[in-house]
Amino acid sequence: MQEIDKFATDNVCKVLVGNKIDKVSERKVSKEEGEELAKHYNIPYIETSAKQNMNVEESFITMAS
């Protein structure tokens, strides 16, 4: 976030994406931790899995809107 704040414009769109959620046993960040971090920065949070085609398109739609 510091890099975004440092180099991006003030009105840049941000979204926090948790990826590869299909690999449950390898997960490093829980859904709750992701949601909490997104809430801290006041940005949307979405979890995705390209392998299971889960929320990938939705993440782009969220960013675009």
DSSP 1-65: -HHHHHHS-TT----EEE--TT-GGG-SS-HHHHHHHHHHHT--EEE-BTTTTBSHHHHHHHHH-
pLDDT band at 21 (very low <50, low <70, confident <90, very high): confident
**What mean pLDDT do residues 28-41 have?**
95
CA distance 15 to 21: 16
Q: What is the pLDDT of residue 17?
A: 94
- Between 33 and 65, the more confident residue is 33
- 46-61: average pLDDT: 92
The model's pTM is: 0.82
Confidence of residue 63 (pLDDT cuts 50, 70, 90): confident
Residue with tokens 């046993």: 25
Gap between the Cα atoms of 10 and 25, Å rounded? 38
Residue type (1 letter), 13:
C
Task: Tell me the pLDDT of the chain averaged across its residues.
Answer: 92
